[in-house]
């Protein structure tokens, strides 16, 4: 009997357990622990967190609460703690109504909206949730664990701090995973350390300079993966006394003004950076405005800027005191650079816009790989002529510059570069394998070019000298204004619709001459005579053993458009070349036998054809050919020219 009763009891027990499981509105819960950095978070898995308890609201964990916030923009987040607790850290956009004020302020909430309620740990939020349900709120969710569990999970919060933030002694203050709103001054001093990591730090100002920030006494600021910004006006932060700043992967919109410290900026965007006696390194960053002044003490300053992102910077100012400045992969706009006392500047693979550079006291600049021709509005390099023994060396390589002015007793070397250059004062410019958009010479400067190209010339109140070697001068315009100088070297003019202006000026051009035969071998002892437009002899001379000689011509406002004729004679060999202000140098005269008109070494039918083609022509006619006018009287191709060639038909030359 007892056994039968036991069996029946077990059957009824199984029956009731099965029915209980079937009648439950949701499946049973299970939990697990997920590791997250230095903390562990207890998570509750469910298929539906909208489970209504017997009290009329649902309990949700912090993970579910975060999903609700992200999925529902109209969700009301209700913080039921005190004002002090709220300021210490709350969920962003949370509405604060302390639980003891909730029933009196219930009208401030919308009964139709879903409402997520939280407190510190979950106790007060349960009470507040019940109050809401009792007052007709139908969708109420209580966040288990409160803000404590939320912060332990590493979720974002907002902190409001009013009053001065003071970090001193050996204190380390960490702002992390939050929006931090600061109303008041910030002081980091006496080895104090402020760390802002994965956060947004907002300085709340009504007007500029209402509050400020300062660092001194070997303090430090580390900003990483964060944004430093302001309400109302930018916050200015001043640093001094060997403080240390590291900014990585950040947007720093405060005005950063540096004194004596070490600064590292990496992969970041800054609004303003100004510094004095600092060791500064900037890499892969953007800086809106930079003011840099090395003006204190005779100690070495080192500045390295690498891969500054494209941006039009408003003002840069580097000045004084043995500064070592390095720019790499950088874009700069609005740069005033004053370098004194043995400073060194190196620029590599960069872009510079609107730059004025003033170098003093034996400074050195090396610029390599400046990119994108035509990007640069104005460069001004100069020295102070009132300072004795002033000199700087500037080197440009693989570079493009729109406008460059070199002044004072300075020297600039340019290689593999595109530039618009103004040489002023007593400056010296050496250009090698480069392209100059316009070469502007003033005062007593000196210029030398080799294997280069110049698109335009402007001489203004210029009294120095210019030497072009193996250079192409492409003239769209050539202006000579109130100048008196010497132009020498070997160069070729490429003339388009050229505009030449001569005003109260005098240019002495040195013309190199080379006499050669049809095989391009030099011909020595060639007699040369230069005739003006009136057939008056201007110069005569003879080539040396290398077939070379030279002569000078002075061009003024009255004769710069004149054309002169250079004749070369040696036995039965001759050559004729017109020479003027825009003639190429060297003047190459290819000596030909007088009847060998095409210079192929034989008097043949081709020579007769040349004369026949120009027969009857005079200077100015479309088919005029000066080469075939070989018999006096000169000035017309006639039967005497044809007869002379025919007479020597078949002759072969040595």
**446-450 vs 411-423, strand pairing mode:** unpaired
Q: What's the pLDDT score for residue 290?
A: 62
> Is residue 387 assigned to a domain?
yes
DSSP bridge pairs for 412: 394, 429
442 labelled catalytic: no
Name the pLDDT band for 147 (thresholds 50, 70, 90).
Answer: very high
Residue 209 dihedral angles phi and psi, to the nearest 5°: 70, 10
Look at the block and give the residue holding tokens 């709340």.
Answer: 204
> Is residue 598 assigned to a domain?
no
- The answer to whether residues 350 and 403 belong to one domain is yes
Dihedral Cα 213, 217, 220, 221, nearest 10 deg = 0
Inform me whether the pLDDT recorded for 210 exceeds 60.
yes
Between the two ends of the chain, the Cα-to-Cα distance in Å is: 147
Angle (CA) 308-310-316 rounded to 5° is: 65
Name the pLDDT band for 103 (thresholds 50, 70, 90).
Answer: very high
Residue (of 569, 522, 524) closest to 545 by Cα position? 524
> What's the pLDDT tens digit per position in 397-432?
555 555 555 544 456 677 776 666 766 666 677 788
> What's the pLDDT tens digit per position in 170-195?
899 999 999 999 999 999 999 999 99
* Domains identified in the chain, total number: 5
Residue (of 329, 337, 341, 371) closest to 354 by Cα position? 337
- The answer to whether residues 388 and 496 belong to one domain is yes
> What's the pLDDT tens digit per position in 249-268?
998 888 887 766 677 887 77
Residue 649 dihedral angles phi and psi, to the nearest 5°: -60, 135
Q: Is residue 247 a contact partner of residue 275, using CB atoms and an 8 Å limit? A: no
Q: Is residue 321 a contact partner of residue 342, using CB atoms and an 8 Å limit? A: no
Q: What's the pLDDT score for residue 26?
A: 39
State the Cα–Cα distance between residues 560 and 513, nearest whole angstrom.
20
Angle (CA) 510-511-514 rounded to 5° is: 145
Top pLDDT among 513 and 517 is at 513
CA distances from 155 to 83, 90, 551 (A): 21, 10, 86
Task: Read off the tokens for 149.
Answer: 């569990």
**DSSP calls for 244-291:** EEEEES-EEEEEEEE-SEEEEEES-EEEEEEESS-EEEEES-EEEEEE
- The answer to whether residues 114 and 198 belong to one domain is no
Give exposure, 310-323, as e/b (b: 16+ Cβ within 10 Å).
Answer: ebebeebbbbbbbb
- The answer to whether residues 164 and 237 belong to one domain is yes
Name the pLDDT band for 436 (thresholds 50, 70, 90).
Answer: confident
Q: What's the pLDDT score for residue 306?
A: 61
- The answer to whether residues 314 and 169 belong to one domain is no
Name the pLDDT band for 274 (thresholds 50, 70, 90).
Answer: low
Q: What's the pLDDT score for residue 453?
A: 79
Inform me whether the pLDDT recorded for 44 exceeds 60.
no
Task: Read off the tokens for 193.
Answer: 């350390």
Residue (of 431, 404, 399) closest to 418 by Cα position? 399
> What's the pLDDT tens digit per position in 467-490?
988 887 776 678 899 999 999 999
DSSP bridge pairs for 200: 179, 227
Q: Which of 443, 476, 504 is the last residue of a domain?
A: 504
State the Cα–Cα distance between residues 258 and 210, nearest whole angstrom.
20
Residue 612 dihedral angles phi and psi, to the nearest 5°: -60, -40
Q: What's the pLDDT score for residue 234?
A: 83
> What's the pLDDT tens digit per position in 292-351?
554 443 344 455 666 555 443 433 444 444 455 666 666 655 555 555 545 666 666 666
> Is residue 6 assigned to a domain?
no
**DSSP calls for 136-174:** T-SSEEEETTHHHHHHHTT--EEEEEES-EEE-TT-EEE
Q: What's the pLDDT score for residue 54?
A: 58
- The answer to whether residues 407 and 445 belong to one domain is yes
Averaged pLDDT of the chain: 77
- The answer to whether residues 354 and 483 belong to one domain is yes
> Is residue 281 assigned to a domain?
no
Q: What's the pLDDT score for residue 66?
A: 95
Residues with Cβ < 8 Å from 121, sequence gap 6 or more?
145, 146, 148, 149
Task: Read off the tokens for 134.
Answer: 């009792």
Whole-model pTM?
0.54
Query: Which of 14-18, 235-239, 257-261, 364-368 comes out lowest in average pLDDT?
Result: 14-18
CATH value at residue 528: 2.60.40
Look at the block and give the residue holding tokens 């056994």.
Answer: 3
Of 440-444, 505-509, 606-610, highest mean pLDDT: 505-509
Q: Which of 135, 152, 169 is the last residue of a domain?
A: 152
Residue 494: domain span:
286-504
Q: Is residue 27 a contact partner of residue 45, using CB atoms and an 8 Å limit? A: no
Q: Which of 254, 275, 296 is the last residue of a domain?
A: 275
Determine the length of the chain.
654
Residue (of 220, 403, 421) closest to 412 by Cα position? 421
State the Cα–Cα distance between residues 127 and 109, nearest whole angstrom.
16
Task: Read off the tokens for 310.
Answer: 């494209």
Residue 107's CB is within 10 A of a number of other CB atoms, namely 8
Tell me if residue 506 falls in helix, strand or coil: strand
- The answer to whether residues 250 and 349 belong to one domain is no
CA distances from 503 to 50, 139, 463, 558 (A): 91, 90, 14, 10
Look at the block and give the residue holding tokens 């007709």.
Answer: 136
> Is residue 4 assigned to a domain?
no
- The answer to whether residues 307 and 441 belong to one domain is yes
Residues with Cβ < 8 Å from 93, sequence gap 6 or more?
77
CATH value at residue 616: 1.10.1330.10
> Is residue 628 assigned to a domain?
yes
Where residue 451 falls (left for φ over 0; alpha for ψ -120 to 50; beta otherwise) is left
- The answer to whether residues 162 and 184 belong to one domain is yes
Name the pLDDT band for 368 (thresholds 50, 70, 90).
Answer: low
Integer-rounded Cα radius of gyration of the chain: 43
> Is residue 266 assigned to a domain?
yes
State the Cα–Cα distance between residues 279 and 296, nearest whole angstrom.
14
State the Cα–Cα distance between residues 494 and 247, nearest whole angstrom.
53
Q: Is residue 579 a contact partner of residue 587, using CB atoms and an 8 Å limit? A: yes
Query: Which of 377-391, 488-502, 521-535 comes out lowest in average pLDDT?
Result: 377-391
State the Cα–Cα distance between residues 204 and 562, nearest whole angstrom.
75
Of 12-26, 270-284, 388-402, highest mean pLDDT: 270-284
DSSP bridge pairs for 244: 220, 262
- The answer to whether residues 499 and 401 belong to one domain is yes
Angle (CA) 501-507-512 rounded to 5° is: 120
Choose the catalytic residue: 119, 323, 409, 422.
Answer: 119
> Is residue 440 assigned to a domain?
yes
Q: Is residue 425 a contact partner of residue 383, using CB atoms and an 8 Å limit? A: yes
- The answer to whether residues 254 and 112 belong to one domain is no
What is the mean pLDDT of the segment spanning 590-614?
84
């Amino acid at each position: 009997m007892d056994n039968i009763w036991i069996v029946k009891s077990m059957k009824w027990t199984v029956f009731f357990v099965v029915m209980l499981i079937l009648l439950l509105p949701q499946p049973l819960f299970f939990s697990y622990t997920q590791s997250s950095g230095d903390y562990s978070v207890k998570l509750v898995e469910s298929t539906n967190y909208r489970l209504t308890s017997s009290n009329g609201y649902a309990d949700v964990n912090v993970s579910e609460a975060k999903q609700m916030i992200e999925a529902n923009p109209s969700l009301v987040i209700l913080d039921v703690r005190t004002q002090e607790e709220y300021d210490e850290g709350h969920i962003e956009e949370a509405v604060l109504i302390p639980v003891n004020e909730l029933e009196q302020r219930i009208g401030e909430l919308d009964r139709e909206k879903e409402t997520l309620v939280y407190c510190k740990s979950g106790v007060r939020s349960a009470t507040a949730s019940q109050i809401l349900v009792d007052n007709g709120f139908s969708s109420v969710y209580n966040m288990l664990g409160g803000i404590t569990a939320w912060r332990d999970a590493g979720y974002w919060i907002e902190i409001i701090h009013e009053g001065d933030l003071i970090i001193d002694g050996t204190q380390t203050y960490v702002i992390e995973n939050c929006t931090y709103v600061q109303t008041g001054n910030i002081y980091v001093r006496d080895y104090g350390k402020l760390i802002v990591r994965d956060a947004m730090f907002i300085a709340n100002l009504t007007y500029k300079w209402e509050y400020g920030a300062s660092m001194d006494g070997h303090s430090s600021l580390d900003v990483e993966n964060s944004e430093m910004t302001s309400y109302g006006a930018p916050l200015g932060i001043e640093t001094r006394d060997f403080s240390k700043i590291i900014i990585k992967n950040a947007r720093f919109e405060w005005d950063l003004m540096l004194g004596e410290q070490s600064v590292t900026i990496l992969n970041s965007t800054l609004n303003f950076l100004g510094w004095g006696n600092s060791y500064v390194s900037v890499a892969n960053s953007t800086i809106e405005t930079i003011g840099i002044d090395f003006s204190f003490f005779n100690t070495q300053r080192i500045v390295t800027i690498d891969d500054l992102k494209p941006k039009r910077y408003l003002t840069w100012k580097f000045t004084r005191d043995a500064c070592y400045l390095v720019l790499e992969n950088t874009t700069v706009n609005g740069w005033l650079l004053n370098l004194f006392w043995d400073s060194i500047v190196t620029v590599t693979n960069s872009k510079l816009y609107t730059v004025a550079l003033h170098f003093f006291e034996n400074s050195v600049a090396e610029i390599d790989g400046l990119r994108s021709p035509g990007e640069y509005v104005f460069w001004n390099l100069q020295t102070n002529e009132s300072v004795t023994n002033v000199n700087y060396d500037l080197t440009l390589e693989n570079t493009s510059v729109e406008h460059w002015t070199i002044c004072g007793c300075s020297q600039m070397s340019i290689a593999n570069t595109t530039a618009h250059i103004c040489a002023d004062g007593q400056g010296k410019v050496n250009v090698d394998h480069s392209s100059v958009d316009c070469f502007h010479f003033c005062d007593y400067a000196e210029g030398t070019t080799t294997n280069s190209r110049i698109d335009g010339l402007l001489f203004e109140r210029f009294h120095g000298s210019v030497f072009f070697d193996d250079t192409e001068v492409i003239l769209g315009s050539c202006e000579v204004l109130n100048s008196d100088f010497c132009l020498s070297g070997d160069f070729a003019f490429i003339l388009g619709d050229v505009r030449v202006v001569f005003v109260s000026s005098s240019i002495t051009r040195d013309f190199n001459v080379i006499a050669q035969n049809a095989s391009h071998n030099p011909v020595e002892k060639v007699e040369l005579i230069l005739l003006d437009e009136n057939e008056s002899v201007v110069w005569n001379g003879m080539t040396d053993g290398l077939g070379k000689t030279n002569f000078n011509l002075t061009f003024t406002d009255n004769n710069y458009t004149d054309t002169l004729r250079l004749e070369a004679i040696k036995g039965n060999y001759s050559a004729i070349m017109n020479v003027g202000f825009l003639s190429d140098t060297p003047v190459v005269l290819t000596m030909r036998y007088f009847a060998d008109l095409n210079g192929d070494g034989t008097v043949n039918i081709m020579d007769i054809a040349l004369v026949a083609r120009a027969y009857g022509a005079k200077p100015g006619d479309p088919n005029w050919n000066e080469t075939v006018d070989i018999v006096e009287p000169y000035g017309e191709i006639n039967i005497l020219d044809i007869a002379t060639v025919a007479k020597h038909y078949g002759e072969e030359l040595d």
